[in-house]
Amino acid sequence: MRNLLIADRRPSGSGVIRVIEPAKGEPFEEVAAAGAADLDAAVAAAKAALPAWSRLTAFARGEILFKFSDLVRAHAEELAVLEARNVGKPIGDARWEANHVADTLRYYAGAADKHFGETIPVKKGGLDITLRVPLGVVGLIVPWNFPMVIATWKVGPALACGNTVVLKPASLTPLTALRLGELALEAGVPPGVLNVVPGPGAAIGAALAAHPDVRKIGFTGETATGRAIMAAAAQTIKRISLELGGKSPCIVFGDVNVAQAAGEAAASVFANAGQDCCARSRTIVERPIYAKFVEAMRAAAQGTVVGNPLDEKTQMGPVISVHQREVTETYVALGKKEGARLVCGGERIPGPGYFLRPAVFADAKPGMRIVDEEIFGPVASVIAFDTEAEAIAIANDSIYGLSGSLWTNDLKRGLRVAQALETGVLSVNSSSSVHLQGPFGGFKQSGLGRELGMHALDHYSEIKNIYFETAP
C-alpha cells in the first residue's frame, strides 16, 4: 500500500483507496486515504515549512526545482506506465505527459528569479516599490483526467513563488501525485513543502477549501465543484483559481482540406477517450462540405485504434470508470432520442475494461443536451452552419468558454472569427490547445484565472507596495 506523503507523519488509518486499472476493470494498487486529522496535519506541516522555504532566495528554489525536473525526466517511463495503467491513456500520450511534467518544472525553475516587482514614480516622490510575496499555504485540488500534468501546472508556480503546498489528487488517480511527492523529496524539496493527501473530494477536498490556514485554492475539475469551492473559499476570502468544464467548438469552413480537418477534429474529441476539458466536442461545419465532412469524421472515428493502453499502437484507451462509461452511454441514448443521427460508435467493446467505440452524431443542433452539456466521453456532435455569423453564434452559445479550433484558409476570415470567439484558448488551423509558455484558462463558466506561462506566477503571489520617504 502507498502511504500519504505528509512530513513526519504516518496516515491516521482513515481508510483505503482501491485504485482500479480501467483497461482491466480490476484493482491494481491500494493507497491510504487521508482523514480529517491527516489533512490538518498536512496543512500544519506546510505551515511549519513555509518560513524556511519562502525565505530561500528565488534562485535557490529554482535550483531545487531544476533537480526535481531532472529526476522526473529520469523516471519518465515509470511515471508514464503508472499513468497509462491508472487513467487508461495510451502509453505514447502518457510518455508525452511525463516529459511535459519535467518541462513544466524546468520552466518554473527558471522562472523563479524572473518574476519580480517594480519601482513606481509616485507623485509624492520618495521611493515606491512593489514586492512579489508568497501567499502562504496553498491547497491544490486536481482531477483524474491528466493527474500528473494538472498537478504540476499548479505545483510548479506555487513552489517557485515560495508557497508551500497541500496537493489533493482525485481518488481515482492518486498514484503519480504520490510518486511526484517522493521525487520532490529526493530532489531536495524540504519535508513539509509539498504534501500529498489522497482522499474523497466531498470530505478532504471540501475541508481543504474551507481550511482557515490555507490562503489559496488552485482547482481543476467540474464547474459544479468549482462553484462549491468558490463558496467555501468565500468564508476566509481565499484566493482561488479555477479550471473548469468545457464544451469547446471546432469551426470548419468550406475552403479547407476536408480529410485533414476531419482527422484533426476527430482526434481533438477522442484524445484521452474524450475526457479532456479542451475536447472540441461541437464540430461546426459549413453546409457545402457537411456531408463529406461527416463521412470523413466517421472514417477517422472508425479508424481510431482502441485498445490496451500499454500497446504502442493504441490511440484511445478505455474511459476511466464504470460511472464514466454509463454517463457516456446515457448521452449516446439521449442523442438518438433528441433526433441526432448516430453515424457510428457509442457501443461497448466486449471483454474486460471500460472500452467504448468513439461515437459521431450528425444533424446535431444547439438545444440538444449532447450539444450543450459536457459529456466527458468519446462523443462528437457535428452541426451544420450557413453563414460566418451563424457559426460564431453557435460556437458562443455555451455557458463554457475554454478552448476552440478554427479551420479556414481565408486569412481575413480567420482573424475576424478568432477575435469573435469567446474562448480562453484558441487554435487556428491546428488542434493544439496547450502551450506551456502561453496562458491557459477559460472564459465564462470554464474558470477563473490562468495557468501556465508567466501568467500563472501572478496567481501564486501577492503584490506588496512599499513606500519609502526619502526627504531628510
Q: Which amino acid appears at position 389 of this protein?
A: A
Closest listed residue to residue 340, CA positions, set 371, 370, 374, 364:
364
Binding segment for ligand NAD (CB under 6 A), chosen from 64-72, 83-91, 225-233, 378-386, is 225-233
174 binds ligand NAD (CB under 6 A): no
Contact region with ligand NAD (CB under 6 A), list: 18-26, 70-78, 214-222, 294-302: 214-222
In the complex, the smallest distance separating the C-beta of residue 434 from ligand NAD, rounded to whole angstroms, is 9
Residues 6+ apart with CB under 8 A from 323: none
Please state, in angstroms and rounded to a whole number, the distance separating the CA atoms of residues 29 and 24. 13
C-alpha 240/C-alpha 143 separation (Å) is 16
Say whether residue 248 binds ligand NAD (CB under 6 A).
no
Cell numbers placing 43: 496543512
Residue 225 engages ligand NAD in binding (rule: CB under 6 A): yes
Retrieve residue 25's grid coordinates: 476493470
State the Rg of the chain over Cα. 23
Cβ 126 to ligand NAD shortest distance, Å: 43
Q: Kindly name the residue from 250, 277, 278, 344 that is annotated as catalytic.
A: 277
For residues 38 and 168, the answer to whether their CB atoms sit within 8 Å is no
> Euclidean distance between the first and final Cα of the chain, in Å?
66
Assess whether 277 carries a catalytic annotation. Answer: yes
90 touches ligand NAD (CB under 6 A):
no
Q: Is 277 in the site for ligand NAD (CB under 6 A)?
A: yes
Query: Measuring CA to CA, how many Å separate 116 from each of 110, 159, 437?
Result: 13, 15, 18
User: What is the dihedral sign for C-alpha 304, 90, 26, 177?
Assistant: negative
218 makes contact with ligand NAD (CB under 6 A): no
* Nearest distance in Å: CB 13, ligand NAD: 20
Which segment (104-112, 127-135, 223-231, 259-267) binds ligand NAD by CB under 6 A? 223-231
Among 90, 162, 218, 221, binds ligand NAD (CB under 6 A): 221
Burial environment of residue 384 by CB neighbours within 10 A (0 to 12, 13 to 18, 19 or more): buried
Given a contact cutoff of 8 angstroms between Cβ atoms, the answer to whether 454 and 465 are in contact is no
CB-wise, 331 or 376, nearer to ligand NAD?
A: 376
Which residue, 135 or 233, is less far from ligand NAD as judged by CB? 233
Which segments of 305-450 does DSSP mark as H helices, in order? Answer: 322-338, 369-372, 388-396, 411-420
Which C-beta is closer to ligand NAD: that of 17 or that of 261? 17
Q: In the range 300-359, which residues lie near ligand NAD by CB under 6 A?
A: none
Q: Is residue 243 part of the contact set for ligand NAD (CB under 6 A)?
A: yes
- Considering CB under 6 A, how many residues would be counted as binding ligand NAD? 32
Q: Which of residues 281 and 304 has its CB atom nearest to ligand NAD in the complex?
A: 281
- Bridge partners (DSSP) listed for residue 6: 9
**Residue 462 near ligand NAD by CB under 6 A:** no
Q: For residue 261, how far is the Cα from the chain centroid? A: 25
Nearest to 194 by CA among 169, 159, 238, 146: 159
> Under rule CB under 6 A, which residues in 407-446 are in contact with ligand NAD?
442, 446
Joined together, the cell numbers standing for residue 238 give 481565499
Q: Does 272 bind ligand NAD (CB under 6 A)?
A: no
Q: Does 198 bind ligand NAD (CB under 6 A)?
A: no
Active site residues: 243, 277
User: Which spans of this chain sit near ligand NAD (rule: CB under 6 A)?
Assistant: 141-146, 150, 168, 170-171, 201-202, 205-206, 209, 220-222, 225, 228-229, 243-246, 277, 374, 376, 402, 442, 446-447
